[in-house]
Amino acid sequence: MGQIAFGGDYNPEQWPREVWAEDMRLMRGASVSMVSVGIFSWALVEPRDGEYDFGWFDEVMDNLSRNGIAASLATMTASPPPWLTRKYPEILPVLADGTRMWPGGRQAYCPSSPAFRAHATRLVRLIAERYRDHPALALWHIGNEYGCDTPACYCDLSAEAFRTWLRARYTTVDALNEAWSTKFWSQRYDDFAEVLPPRTVPAFNNPSQQLDFARFSSDEILGCLLAEKAVIRELTPNVPITTNFAGYSHALDLRRWAEELDVVSFDSYPEPFDPRAHVEAGLTYDVYRGARGGQPWLLMEQAPSAVNWRERNAAKEPGQMRLWSWQAVAQGADAIMYFQWRQSRGGAEKFHSAMVPHAGPDTDQHRDIVALGAELASVPEIVGSRPDNDVAVVLDWASWRALELDAHPSSDVQQLDALLAHYAPLFTANIACDVVSPADDLSSYRLVVVPNLYLVSATDAERLTDYVRGGGHLLMSFFSGIVDESDRVHLGGYPAPFRDVLGLRVDEFRPLDAGQVLPVELVGQTGGATLWSERITLEGAEVQGRFTDGSPALTRSEFGDGVAWYLATRPDPELLQTLSEHVAARAGVEPVLTGLPKGVQAARRGDFLFLLNHNPRPSTVDLDRPMTDLLSPGSAPAEHVELVARGVAVLR
Amino acid sequence: MGQIAFGGDYNPEQWPREVWAEDMRLMRGASVSMVSVGIFSWALVEPRDGEYDFGWFDEVMDNLSRNGIAASLATMTASPPPWLTRKYPEILPVLADGTRMWPGGRQAYCPSSPAFRAHATRLVRLIAERYRDHPALALWHIGNEYGCDTPACYCDLSAEAFRTWLRARYTTVDALNEAWSTKFWSQRYDDFAEVLPPRTVPAFNNPSQQLDFARFSSDEILGCLLAEKAVIRELTPNVPITTNFAGYSHALDLRRWAEELDVVSFDSYPEPFDPRAHVEAGLTYDVYRGARGGQPWLLMEQAPSAVNWRERNAAKEPGQMRLWSWQAVAQGADAIMYFQWRQSRGGAEKFHSAMVPHAGPDTDQHRDIVALGAELASVPEIVGSRPDNDVAVVLDWASWRALELDAHPSSDVQQLDALLAHYAPLFTANIACDVVSPADDLSSYRLVVVPNLYLVSATDAERLTDYVRGGGHLLMSFFSGIVDESDRVHLGGYPAPFRDVLGLRVDEFRPLDAGQVLPVELVGQTGGATLWSERITLEGAEVQGRFTDGSPALTRSEFGDGVAWYLATRPDPELLQTLSEHVAARAGVEPVLTGLPKGVQAARRGDFLFLLNHNPRPSTVDLDRPMTDLLSPGSAPAEHVELVARGVAVLR
Amino acid sequence: MGQIAFGGDYNPEQWPREVWAEDMRLMRGASVSMVSVGIFSWALVEPRDGEYDFGWFDEVMDNLSRNGIAASLATMTASPPPWLTRKYPEILPVLADGTRMWPGGRQAYCPSSPAFRAHATRLVRLIAERYRDHPALALWHIGNEYGCDTPACYCDLSAEAFRTWLRARYTTVDALNEAWSTKFWSQRYDDFAEVLPPRTVPAFNNPSQQLDFARFSSDEILGCLLAEKAVIRELTPNVPITTNFAGYSHALDLRRWAEELDVVSFDSYPEPFDPRAHVEAGLTYDVYRGARGGQPWLLMEQAPSAVNWRERNAAKEPGQMRLWSWQAVAQGADAIMYFQWRQSRGGAEKFHSAMVPHAGPDTDQHRDIVALGAELASVPEIVGSRPDNDVAVVLDWASWRALELDAHPSSDVQQLDALLAHYAPLFTANIACDVVSPADDLSSYRLVVVPNLYLVSATDAERLTDYVRGGGHLLMSFFSGIVDESDRVHLGGYPAPFRDVLGLRVDEFRPLDAGQVLPVELVGQTGGATLWSERITLEGAEVQGRFTDGSPALTRSEFGDGVAWYLATRPDPELLQTLSEHVAARAGVEPVLTGLPKGVQAARRGDFLFLLNHNPRPSTVDLDRPMTDLLSPGSAPAEHVELVARGVAVLR
């Protein structure tokens, strides 16, 4: 890809032929370089079992290549056609409470269904054979937003697949019993055949069973992708493969999935009503850039303006679509694409904004698209560049899933809240960071932040300990290091695997009531503590912050050549800002740029410095040396950058 | 009917014979002229399949005729008896998520069930044959509150009936695919046999499928009524037919249903806790009067005081039952009836107030009934008279259903809210109006108000356009004219079919967040805008109101000989009051009476002027000429009327 | 039992053998005298159908007896093992909406399942035979928290059992029809075979059917206990029997159940976040003490600190565990036990605090346990002593269940709210009371409080009337005496069976809106009235309080030799405090101790006076004579007691 790919989902099947010609003309005018095609075309290309109609799609592909537009070619299996689920009703997925899901929406299939998989791969083989040598084919787009609408299935087929998965994981049922602590509540299994998915139960489900079922469900959906990938690799070994993730959730283990892809892509829909939406979006971008070790990623879908699936769907403000697109590029995107090219006339997403709205191209919305397409096309040199960050934030899928199981000290402790709480002050301070797995090599970072790592293996705990021993700085929050991979408590006093490095023991969790705020003082500043407190016995750590009863709220432990901080509560944002900057400064971490006005984001990719004014008013930025704004082609290098409201500069 | 019918549901089967004699005596004392009988008697008159026991019911009918009381004779099919659903369990209805509904409540039947329909019509034939010549028989009361508890069924029988209905509507599956936009999300049907009701799905259901299923469900329940009607018409061609609707909802298309009835009747239960309940009630009365083109209607059920099915069931204040009864008459009722005659001792409605309460007739509640009965009987000349209004408010069932489907710009935009928001200022200003269908002849109105008409056919849009062209005044609110009968967007810029008459194009919907209020100025007055805003391009219209950013919030377009106003938001009630009066005045509309104290409603029916004091304190009304209060028999004509708190005057 | 039993649930199967030895050592150190064993051991002792492994359990029992610790021996049937429900899937219970409950939690069995009962009693026989002569066996602990997770089952087996139960209750289907008022809504049954549980229905369920199903469900679960009891009594006629209730709810009729036990035990988990938790706990203790006529009871489970099953699980404050344990003793407990001995490493309750926490015995939590164990062991003379109270508060299970059925005047009127509202002022005033059934002999009480007795039989109404006639004082609140045992209204004006004794008739219920507060004046003090008001006609009673419109809110009626008060609303807590003390004083009731500081509870058991300081600060109590604090062994008798924050004194 020689430039930042620009385009969107293209669904010409929804329109008569005369519109197709206009589409091509408009795409050229909008600098569109790539489109995703065929995502929901199964029912059209295979109208009956084993009968195919590819002619119209040939035409679409030919139109694209004739117009120099690359195809991100979908495998067309995102939703089974009605004839398929009528013929094999067992394909229809089932919820934990036994509710069968029906056709009429999308993604109504059980990922473990042999009938679904057989028909899907048969279709994919035909598609790959037909278009393997088509000049438009640039990227395989397997499925679509896997697990978004059907993150798990609890049917009998899924139960059988779950048992197969468990046999592979545990070999013996005794090992499963041990991992699942089934001596509790008379749950001992005498045979794998007795095991079921965690369907609706009286009281609480077995948490280890739930955790394994979450792992299984992610793996099982991945199995659908892998079945298609095998066909594709066989027939087109050199065409890269992606799938577009729907944001990120604990349903799919992104790190595991990313291993199977050549490039990561995903769909990003920040909430325009939220004045801090760009911070949460920035976190998502860093999560995805981290998924394959810093490799640039593709923004496969965003909305030109409003979406349609929220309760109230805000339109974007003027300039906001451009700003947020550039933010994605600044944080690693090599593609800016949309759902969708032309706004649907009917169906469930007809009120989702599009590159060509209902009123047609003679609209501000389309003109904004055209302008951005041209702008992105003007800076091909950005493609492939990467940041080089000193701070890592840890996120682990198994821990996330386990953290949010039932019957914990406080159900208010949620992974994404913790992650965002600790990410936001770094973002605000323009301290760029990577989101990493605890299994990654951390040695290159000056500071590693662990917002929460409830579940940790002995190996990962040792890696984090070694990181500090070797001179790293660690900031870890409460309720980390509590359980092992099977959700069994690490005995010996919380957090057993981190007691040495942190220099303390947590004697009792004291979660706070809903809305309760305790006064707290951290590194000399006072503020409010929320969600959690605990009773700590010091074992070498020094106190750096206290609750009003004098008990420790923040500790600092020198360990080996490094330093480990431990935070026993969730401070309010202002206080956590102070703390984060304090800890970062002591770790020798510097922001991307100092002295930035509030609300202006600075980001680096290779040689490029991006300035993003998230304020609805102009801002002036002082640079430390003269730089040139690539988006103002004729301009001279300057040490001051004037950013309009929601303005962007790409400097070099 | 020579007088305003007065009475209620009469269920003597719940009481021993000795009570029946007292019932007759008390009914005579209360001027009761009509009662509904047999509504839930199926299980008693047919205790076993094909075995009948009508003896006790003969006695009831004979008692009525002997006492000069007319029977609104139910067809007794409102709830199937337990033996029937035990024998044919497929009669039991099923929810969208597959949950089977069971006996033990009421209305537990699938309207498409052949077994249910066969048994119901067999019973109706027996009833009609038996009582066709009975002197008490005055009105057929088919079913009871159709669709109230079971508005739709999703079972396999319903699925088959839905397919039959669709085959009749579309002939070919291609036509269905086109109407339902099934190229979206891989939903193309290859055969009608693949189509299902919109059961629970992952993601959003197909909106066109949902819309057609709503039409089908209304038609299918109507099919139950029609099957019974066919028997009745055959045997008693001259006895009028009604069914009592439960308020009105989008479940049953009132306009379609009303065509099949001789007179419309319904059940009205305003919320006494709501100080504006009479406004919402007034709207309901106008909706029902409009159902058969202004024909008087029957208030088939109201509560003497509290109901029992709300979370908290307020008793009515002293005078409120009388006031609200007269309001119904003022707005077109020719019957004032209650649920129910004698308060049940057991069962689910025993705490619903009744004409004879648990404590018996020696109670204020019963005395109020007796007084009102006598009062109503004293003014037989009101019967049959009609109003003659200059303002119409448009309500369309298909549009209502479509508006409230999922995945719209804002789920806060709801039909009844819009309708009430625009109706209330007219009511408050004592501007009487009719509620009409967009398919009605509008030419006689000075002003037509369209609170929302999201879905509109080309024909209906043209009719509204012609109305303005011919000199009419139109006030249309946002998100109207968006889709066609199949919920497909009218292309070419919103609202395509109304762009000419309104003189504008809506470029983007900008719904507001929950609780968000924007400042807005309309016709010179400032206030708050809620729910919605949008970006408008003027195409001939002039701006009559603006948001603070200067963009249009209200426009006025002269078109042909008329004027079309367009309102791009929901103003707060005070501002909408100003706007409504402004627009009405410019259309030459006058209130029923000017200079009325706040909270006093004036309404006309033929020669009669009704004054209704909804205030909990006295009010004085000045008339423009001396009139006589029919409710104060001996009084002389006067130009001033003194109304007590919650008082009523009927003037001529 | 020669001392206050001390211990907890002991689940050694969750731990390796080496931990068992430490358990014994630590139990001895903590003065543990009794533990509950085997509660969830079914899947371990019977790993396959009919194959048994009791060896490990023999060892547990032997360890206990060797260490002088009594076994509260569970029957091990609290949760069926996975192999059992796999073999007999009909054991799995079903919700009212048809949702099947699955294994993976606990208590997943239908109480009517023959397969479950057969396997359960087969196991119990083996256990009883094996351990009948074991020296550790002190108490049979049947099941565990019956009905807590599965309070009812709606499956077809349950339906059949329900019909059997109904045949026994009613003999003829006509009698059932009469009791259930089935002439309403066409519900007449022609045969018992047509009757079903109250599954999900359109509209409201038949309330009498719901009420009988609640009775049936309690009886059916009790049937499980009785089946096990029969085996146990046969084999060990002299070993006492208990089952531990989970708090109390309307699911299980405690009075009926208590008849079948030798001693009542239950699990108490006050909410530490609630500053008034001790009041609600005190009510629970009085409810359970009343279950067997004042007999001391066993606190079978409490938490050493936090539980794990709330949304947010507060830790107990320092001293709070000791204080609340002594409160239980003060109100009748002869055992203080915990869930559980050693905190689980895995499973759904691993974050529930325990006597030995995850960090082991070298913790404050364990040290607090050790200290309390020693303290309780030092006062064996308390065992068996009882209070002697002048006030009774009435609670009836049938009335409770009926009160909370649907379609009532106000769903805000709930039994436990009413009970607590009337109990709290007595507790606050240190007026000790018993919680009794309306079927109990009330003649020894000076005052009987009836917070709500919606359902009352003619017999019970007569008993209450006789109580007043004989000189008793009665305080009855609104919506009492409304229906009979079948939820049919007592005709003749509310509350018909109490009109004579109260000297009034209630003409109309006027429930208040959510959050609505009416000004009211009672016995000379003004305050707020909530929830309810009504219109009363006096028939001999005198008015002692009024709403602002002058209508009666409180009446007093002299009847026979006694006095009956009637309260027509729910006053705010302060006003109800005044009223309660006023009524109690006029009845000649005296507090346990006068002049106590606020927040200090005084309670008597036999010769012992307990002082419990619920304040988080010290308090000083003046006695009327010198007494000795048994918890301060060497101290001299004194007339002043200094209580530390959350401190306790046991005086004699």
CB < 8 Å to B309, chain C: 204, 407
Q: How far apart are CA B396 and CA B403, in angstroms?
A: 10
Smallest CA-to-CA distance from B402 within B178, B152, B213 is with B213
Q: Mutation target for C interface from B313, B316, B368: give the one with most C CBs within 10 A.
A: B313
Inter-chain contacts counted by CB atoms under 8 A, chains A and B: 182
Q: What is the mean pLDDT of chain B?
A: 97
The CATH classification number of A391-586 equals: 3.40.50.880
Residue C175 touches chain A, beta carbons under 8 Å: no
Rounded to a whole number of angstroms, the distance from the CA of A125 to the nearest CA of chain B is 19
Tell me which chain B residue has its CA closest to the CA of residue A13. B183
Nearest CB to B103: which of C201, C412, C514? Answer: C201
Residue B624 touches chain C, beta carbons under 8 Å: no
Is C521 a catalytic site residue? no
Q: How far apart are CA C122 and CA C140, in angstroms?
A: 16
pLDDT in tens, B14-56: 999 999 999 999 999 999 999 999 999 999 999 999 999 999 9
CB < 8 Å to A407, chain C: 308-309, 348-349, 351
CB < 8 Å to A193, chain C: 86
Mean pLDDT confidence for A68-72 = 98
Residue C633 pLDDT level (bands cut at 50, 70, 90): confident
Mean pLDDT confidence for A358-384 = 97
Mean pLDDT confidence for A53-82 = 98
Top-level CATH class of C600-651? mainly beta
Q: In this predicted structure, what is the pLDDT of residue A1? A: 47
Res C1 pLDDT > 60: no
Catalytic residues of B: 145, 301
Q: In this predicted structure, what is the pLDDT of residue A634? A: 86
Query: If you ran DSSP here, which 8-state letter would residue B596 be given?
Result: P
pLDDT in tens, C426-455: 999 999 999 999 999 999 999 999 999 999
Smallest CA-to-CA distance from A333 within A372, A294, A279, A307 is with A294
Residue B98 touches chain A, beta carbons under 8 Å: yes
At residue C504, the 3 state secondary structure works out as strand
Residue C43 touches chain A, beta carbons under 8 Å: yes
Alpha-carbon separation of residue B596 from B372, C375, C556 (angstroms): 25, 80, 48
Q: In this predicted structure, what is the pLDDT of residue B634? A: 86
Res B1 pLDDT > 50: no
Pairing of strands B70-74, B34-37: parallel
Cβ distance A200 to C101 less than 8 Å, yes or no, reads yes
Where in chain A do CATH 3.40.50.880 domains reside? 391-586
Where in chain A do CATH 2.60.40 domains reside? 600-651
Mean pLDDT confidence for B522-527 = 98
pLDDT in tens, B293-312: 999 999 999 999 999 999 99
Strand order in the sheet with C542-547: C433-436, C391-394, C447-450, C473-477, C562-567, C552-559, C542-547, C518-522, C525-530, C570-571
Residue C462 pLDDT level (bands cut at 50, 70, 90): very high
Res C35 pLDDT > 80: yes
For A313, the token pair is 């769907």
ipTM associated with this complex: 0.97
Chains that touch A (3 or more CB pairs under 8 A): B, C
At residue C176, the 3 state secondary structure works out as helix
Residue B436 pLDDT level (bands cut at 50, 70, 90): very high
For chain A, the straight-line distance linking the first and the last C-alpha, in angstroms and rounded, comes to 22
Q: How far apart are CA C222 and CA C245, in angstroms?
A: 12
Contacts of residue B161, defined as CB under 8 A and 6 or more positions apart, other chains included, come to B112, B216, B220
CB < 8 Å to A200, chain C: 99-102
Nearest CB to A183: which of C44, C306, C348? Answer: C44
Q: In this predicted structure, what is the pLDDT of residue B500? A: 98
Cβ distance B83 to C204 less than 8 Å, yes or no, reads no
Q: In this predicted structure, what is the pLDDT of residue C529? A: 98
> Residue type for C510, please?
R
Cβ distance B312 to C190 less than 8 Å, yes or no, reads no
Q: Is the dihedral of CA C413, C418, C421, C422 positive or negative?
A: positive
Mean pLDDT confidence for C606-610 = 96
Res C8 pLDDT > 90: yes
pLDDT in tens, B222-259: 999 999 999 999 999 999 999 999 989 999 999 999 99
pLDDT in tens, A570-622: 999 999 999 999 999 999 999 999 999 999 999 999 999 999 999 999 999 99
Residue B42 touches chain C, beta carbons under 8 Å: yes
Rounded to a whole number of angstroms, the distance from the CA of A366 to the nearest CA of chain B is 11
CB < 8 Å to B208, chain A: 346-347
Rounded to a whole number of angstroms, the distance from the CA of A351 to the nearest CA of chain B is 6
CB < 8 Å to A492, chain C: 358-360
Mean pLDDT confidence for B101-117 = 98
> Residues C422, C428, C429, C435: what is their CA dihedral angle, to the nearest 10 degrees?
50
Rounded to a whole number of angstroms, the distance from the CA of C401 to the nearest CA of chain B is 15
> Residue type for A419, please?
L
pLDDT in tens, B439-473: 999 999 999 999 999 999 999 999 999 999 999 99
Mean pLDDT confidence for A260-285 = 98
**Beta bridge pairs of residue A391:** A433, A447
User: Is there a contact between A136 and A35 (Cβ–Cβ < 8 Å)?
Assistant: no
Q: In this predicted structure, what is the pLDDT of residue C2? A: 76
Alpha-carbon separation of residue B515 from B202, B296, B415, B451, B518 (angstroms): 30, 40, 19, 21, 10
CB < 8 Å to B97, chain A: 99
Rounded to a whole number of angstroms, the distance from the CA of A378 to the nearest CA of chain C is 53
Residue B50 touches chain A, beta carbons under 8 Å: no
Residues 348-367 (C) with a CB less than 8 A from some CB of A: 348-351, 357-360, 363-365
- Of C46, C220, C301, C534, the catalytic one is C301
Rounded to a whole number of angstroms, the distance from the CA of B31 to the nearest CA of chain A is 52
Q: How far apart are CA A613 and CA A615, in angstroms?
A: 5
Binding-site residues of A for substrate, please?
Answer: 106, 144, 309
Q: Give me Rg for the CA atoms of chain C.
A: 26
Tell me which chain C residue has its CA closest to the CA of residue B350. C489
Nearest CB to B359: which of C486, C493, C514? Answer: C493
Share of chain C above pLDDT 90, in %: 99
Residue A550 touches chain C, beta carbons under 8 Å: no
For B615, the token pair is 């205030």
pLDDT in tens, B622-644: 998 999 999 998 889 999 999 99
Where in chain C do CATH 3.20.20.80 domains reside? 5-151+239-382
Query: If you ran DSSP here, which 8-state letter would residue C563 be given?
Result: E
To the question of whether residue C15 is assigned a binding role by annotation, the answer is: no
Q: What angle do CA B505, B508, B513 make, to 5 degrees?
A: 135
For C99, the token pair is 């949702």
Mean pLDDT confidence for A479-491 = 98
Cβ distance C203 to B106 less than 8 Å, yes or no, reads yes
Q: Mutation target for B interface from C196, C201, C478, C494: give the one with most B CBs within 10 A.
A: C201
Residue B82 touches chain C, beta carbons under 8 Å: yes
CB < 8 Å to C11, chain A: 183-184
The architecture that CATH gives domain B5-151+239-382 is Alpha-Beta Barrel (3.20)
pLDDT in tens, A532-542: 999 999 999 99
Chains that touch C (3 or more CB pairs under 8 A): A, B
Mean pLDDT confidence for B205-213 = 98
At residue B502, the 3 state secondary structure works out as helix
Cβ distance C82 to A188 less than 8 Å, yes or no, reads yes
Res A349 pLDDT > 60: yes
Rounded to a whole number of angstroms, the distance from the CA of B203 to the nearest CA of chain A is 5
Smallest CA-to-CA distance from A48 within A91, A88, A81 is with A81
Chains that touch B (3 or more CB pairs under 8 A): A, C
CB < 8 Å to A488, chain C: 345-346, 350
Cβ distance C488 to B345 less than 8 Å, yes or no, reads yes
Q: In this predicted structure, what is the pLDDT of residue A232? A: 98
Residues 231-250 (B) with a CB less than 8 A from some CB of A: none
CB < 8 Å to A184, chain C: 11, 14, 40, 344, 346-349
The region that residue B4 occupies, defined by phi over 0 for left and psi between -120 and 50 for alpha, beta otherwise, is beta
For B253, the token pair is 């298309």
pTM for this entry = 0.97
To the question of whether residue B309 is assigned a binding role by annotation, the answer is: yes
Nearest CB to A508: which of C105, C273, C305? Answer: C305
Cβ distance A409 to C83 less than 8 Å, yes or no, reads no
